[in-house]
Amino acid sequence: MGQRDEPLKASFMQTVCRHRLCLPLVFLGMAAGIVTTVPVVLLSKSVRDIFPPQMKWWQTTVLYQIYPRSFKDSNGDGIGDLQGITSKLDYLASINVKAIWISPFYPSPMLDFGYDISNYTDVDPVFGNLTDFNELVKKAHSLGIRVVIDFVPGHTSSKHPWFQNSAKKIEPYTDYYIWANGTQLQNGTRMPPSNWVSVFEGSAWTWNNERQQYYYHAFLPEQPTLNYRSPKVVQEMKDTIRFWLDQGVDGIRADAVAHIMVYSDYYRDQLLSNVPGAQPYQRSYYITNLTDNQPELHTVVKGWRDVLNSYEDSKDDDTDTSKALIVEVYAPPEIRNIYFDDGADMPFNFDLLTALNSSKFCDALCIRNVVQNEYDTLPGGKWANFVSNHDNHRASTRRGARDIDAMLVLLLTLRGTPTIYYGEEIGMEDVPVSYNETQDPPAQRLGPARYMEISRDPERSPMQWDSSPNAGFTNDTVRPWLPVASDHSQVNVKSQNASANATTLKMFRELAFLREEPSLRYGLLTFCKVTPNILSYLRAAHEMTNYLVVINFGNETVTENLSGDPVNKGLGRIKVSSTAAANEGRFVTDRTVQLSALTLKPGDAVVLEL
């Protein structure tokens, strides 16, 4: 290979080095005395993982949250169930969802709809049985879909045998929960040990007549908090994780981790926060450092990671057997990122959801700042994530139908794992629920004047599958557990799939498949032009096709020049666009457009191939 062979050598290097790490190897040419080098593809697994990055399954997919009560009813009782989920797995595979997160389906009195668990290792009859769950996992895996389950480690139901035995001081359950004596006043009045307040308002201490002590509950009185200073409790919860891993689950999402431990002195009062307008029965009235994010809980989380690691197989092939540990913690980056050190793969990041749901409008500059903060504060080598879920109003309701597509384009093109709440792929919004229709127990307790302050029913309405009276969620002869949206005859899976026009579902599917591209999978994100109206950013990976994302989050039609640095291209080819722009013929797939004068109406979003 002499000088005339340099182009061939360069081409060869470009080809084999694109997806592998290459090192030079001395090559003896055919001509005597000529020594040159050619690249060698290192095939050992340890080196092959270096470039491009070998990513875990939870980094490369949309994580799709399913609230079982609301997804699909298979037996006609008006409540969704496990068989209903199984029946819709083909649909999820068709939109390139490769991981689902299922909210609690365990036996429960349902005072917090499954987050008050009376048996950690079974299925509530309203959702089916263990056989149904095993069939769900089997079918999901056959379709290449991973299964993550909600793990509720901090509290049980007061109906759980552990609590009932603890109240009786029956060993080994005596110290399974947090018990304290309280204070007896001179007039005979009994007072709780401290001023700690529950998430659902009111004292976090409830008197138990049988044991003659108070017990602590971070949430409802019917949800007593477990005592993680008891080694027996720590072991019980590890065994719970093992049980579900034995059923084939691929990961756990640990609920409300910040609340699983409290300060060791139960009699110490919280200091006042001095938040304007806060009332003594509300958590915001206090600085909750005695009840949230205690240092000792990190040892507990590390123990869960150890259990998950023990189920990962070490194989010298491309099989990804990793088990995901996701933790829910509403906290700023300096607190939530500590959980990375415990072995958490993703401490849920709610910052973008909070900003979009804020009563103060978050414009494109605001969104850029929130996203940039996630990247800036992320520890080295860790992976970002952006969340929507069942405890918050759908962001589409706050922003309005105009911005639904824009928000989906944002979530599915950011660098990191997006969690998509069921129905968002078709543009579902919150459904108004009257007090008489309210099912959420904490909201019911506040009464008709205040129930909407905390009700989570509006975002938990039944999935809209078709235009039939009950949206295909359940039989038309029964009443769904929550009202179906009034717009379901237009906003549903079947109609959007069948439409000759562009739809939100079609756009979602295109985005979900486009995410397979290297630049959108692992490429860097560089913000381009950002104004109060326009958010734009480049997704780029070395020697790969790059993409420019442009979204108008404002209220004005704008024309922008995006051809300059860092894009440095004059033309872009449309790959995905919001439905209104597509249906109006302004952004047509595969059409080439000038980046020097790109016009977007409010709510427009476009992904351009460069």
Measure the N-to-C terminal CA separation of the chain; round to a whole number of Å. Answer: 35
- Could you give the C-alpha distances from 500 to 39, 130, 168, 428, 495, in angstroms and in order? 50, 41, 65, 20, 10
Say if CB 261 and CB 188 are below 8 A apart.
no
540 contacts 519 by C-beta, under 8 angstroms: yes
Long-range contacts (CB closer than 8 Å, 24 or more residues apart) made by 352-357: 352/386, 352/387, 353/386, 353/387, 353/388, 353/389, 353/392, 353/395, 356/395, 356/398, 356/399, 356/407, 357/392, 357/393, 357/395, 357/398
Q: Determine if the peptide bond prior to 52 is cis (ω within 30°).
A: yes
What phi, psi does 273 have (nearest 5°)?
-90, -25
Per DSSP, helices labelled H in 268-427 are: 297-309, 333-336, 338-341, 351-357, 364-377, 395-399, 404-413
- Residue at token pair 């649909």: 91
Rg of the chain over Cα atoms, rounded to whole angstroms, equals: 27
Reduced to 3 states, what is the DSSP secondary structure of residue 424? helix
Question: Could you tell me if 398 and 356 are in contact, meaning their C-beta atoms sit under 8 angstroms apart?
Answer: yes
Which of the residues 73, 112, 236, 255 is marked catalytic?
Answer: 255
- Cis upstream peptide for 153 (omega within 30°): no
Residue 34, number of CB atoms within 10 A of its CB: 12
Helix H, strand E, coil C: the string for 65-102 is EECHHHHCCCCCCCCCCHHHHHHCHHHHHHCCCCEEEE
**Active-site residue flag, 255:** yes
Q: Which residues contact 402 (CB under 8 A, 6 or more apart)?
A: 580, 602, 603
SS3 content of the chain, % helix, strand, coil (to 5): 30, 20, 50
Q: Which two tokens stand for residue 546?
A: 């790059």
310 Cβ contact list (under 8 Å, min separation 6): none
Most distant CA atoms of the chain, gap in Å: 107
The runs of H, that is alpha helices, within 428-492 are: 441-446
C-alpha 407: how far from chain center: 15
| Residue recorded with tokens 């699983």 | 260
Q: Choose, from 328, 391, 440, 517, the residue flagged as catalytic.
A: 328
Element (H, E) at 139: helix 130-142
Residues 353, 351: Cα–Cα separation, whole Å: 6
Q: Backbone phi, then psi, for 180, in 5-degree steps?
A: -150, 155
Active site positions, annotated: 255, 328
